[in-house]
Structure 1
């Protein structure tokens, strides 16, 4: 369903509209608990977990388990890289309410068809990768996005203790907004924010920013303008891609091993 911000909707059509929509952003797509906004080549997804929408951590098939080779004593598996379109089709086939899919974790670009993730990822209660980048890379600049069914948070990542003590069933590790990843260059960017929409102390809204060209400061500023209380940087550059309801909005020829999938509420 394609809608614009001036569409006249029937009573049965319910759009989730955040309390803050920055000037210049137009509504592109919506479904229960999720909305996609666009401003030029920038896109922001608003995902309301309290309405039953969800963010899925997805990855390609594991071709080498990398047993006990991870940065924190766990595994460092190789995951098969695939096009985002392939990943979208897989997501949609198992989730008819699939809304969008985008790139996620930092990864090594030196090997394919399979590769390793830089930082840890936990899916449905299981740490599937400790990553290969331990304290030698960005030792004080890592954060983790913790995702529960009805809430999320972005918290400091302090290595093995943080990874294995988190109660969140799903988490992904990234970097602080000002970690030096070509900080001032306008590159493809994928950032995530969390927001406490009702000011009750719980972050029930996840915001996902994608752009073909933005500085780190601009990506952060955009998420803050949507009300993000905390921000984390995920992989970007040539990996930045976005598909929503089968339509490509940001394209890349780069294959990727790990993705974020957004699913609307039933």
Structure 2
């Protein structure tokens, strides 16, 4: 689902993260208007769900250095080229971590609704991260998965529909630059994203073990202050006493963005302080199905990220779910293996 772009500028907020950051190795469900389809199963490591979830066959592709990679298939027999589902289980306690990677068109722009980002396929994002020595831990990069909702599906750059918080890594620049956008839906009552039931994915410093990762409710009709309070700044108590270095806003897992039906899906789940689950579904499913899969593997809280033609992921040497329509995306969740 795509949302139209809206103009307008708001106050600028920019922060410079010190060079010392580079020396650091670089979702309990609150009240919701929609009940979960099943109760969460006990948290589990491995590719065997604790309860049936609609995808009957799961296979373990990788399980070391804090990352478990699971392939799900609807039918038995020889696997097709593109898997029906891929689930990544990131063990934060084991030292694996996650970043939200994007490339702003204007590195120095302050917080706004109109900040634009370059777009790439997930596989090209993987190569881009690996090629940049300044980016966080490129040698430990394991996978890239699409994330945020955005407004322009045709061009090579786009504004985002909803808020995002990220770091930018300028070439030949001694330290990263913080970047925040409020999203084009801000205050626009005609935008389908504006009235949607939202959640925020918040990701802390990758140098901390376990890395802080949380999913929480986000105001439906939000303002700039809500964005600033959610993602905050240095030593934000909302980020486990650390910094919300990365984050994006999506929708509650059972909120129908474009009406009932089946589609490709990108969902993220968490066990707070322990695990992060990244689910990519090439086979068309309902939002209830996607949420059930996460719960069957132990996820406690989930967020719905951009799906449909945007759904895509790449893990070099293991598996790829390409966009069904070749759509490029403005950011990715990058998973990094724990240090050896």
TM-score after normalising by structure 1: 0.81
1:37 alignment partner in structure 2: 70
Q: Does 1:204 align with 2:274?
A: yes
Corresponding residue for 1:10? Answer: none
How many residue pairs end up in the alignment?
A: 239
How far has the Cα of 1:26 moved from its partner? 1.4
2:156 is aligned to 113
Bigger CA drift: 211-220 or 159-168? 159-168
Partners of 1:101 and 1:214 in 2: CA distance? 22
- Of the three residues 242, 246, 254, the one matched with 1:170 is 246
Whether 1:194 and 2:270 are equivalent positions in the alignment is yes
Q: Does 1:139 align with 2:179?
A: no
Distance apart, 1:35 and its partner CA: 0.9
Gaps of 5+ in 2: 1-43, 74-83, 168-176, 206-210, 231-235, 237-243
* Alpha-carbon distance in structure 2 between the residues aligned to 1:18 and 1:138: 36
Asked whether the 8 Å contact 2:111–2:179 carries over to 1, the reply is no
Offset of residue 43 of structure 1: 1.1
Structure holding more strand per residue: 1
Return the offset for 1:154: 0.9
User: How far did residue 140 of structure 1 move?
Assistant: 5.5
Which moves more between the two structures, 47-56 or 130-139? Answer: 130-139
SS in 1 for 2:199: strand
Residue in structure 2 matched with residue 128 of structure 1 by the alignment: 180
Residue pair 2:153, 2:327 contacting (<8 A) in 1 also: no
The verdict on how the C-alpha distance between 1:127 and 1:141 changes in structure 2, with shifts beyond 3 A counting, is: farther
Cα shift at 1:152: 1.4
Per the TM alignment, residue 66 of structure 1 is displaced from its structure 2 partner at its CA by 6.6
1:8 — aligned with what? none
State the match for 1:4 in structure 2. none
Q: CA deviation at 1:183?
A: 5.0
Deviation at 1:191, TM superposition (A): 0.3
Following superposition, the deviation at residue 34 of structure 1 comes to 0.7
- Following the alignment from structure 1 to structure 2, what is the Cα–Cα distance between the partners of residues 262 and 218? 24
Match of 2:123 among 85, 101, 121: 85
**TM-score for the superposition, normalised by structure 2:** 0.65
Say whether the 8 Å CA contact 2:65–2:94 is kept in structure 1: yes
Maintained 8 Å contact 1:120/1:129: yes
Q: Could you tell me which residue of structure 1 aligns to residue 61 of structure 2?
A: 28
For residue 247 of structure 1, report the CA deviation from its aligned partner.
4.7
* Contiguous gaps of at least 5 residues in structure 1: 1-16, 71-75, 196-201
**SS of the counterpart of 2:139?**
coil
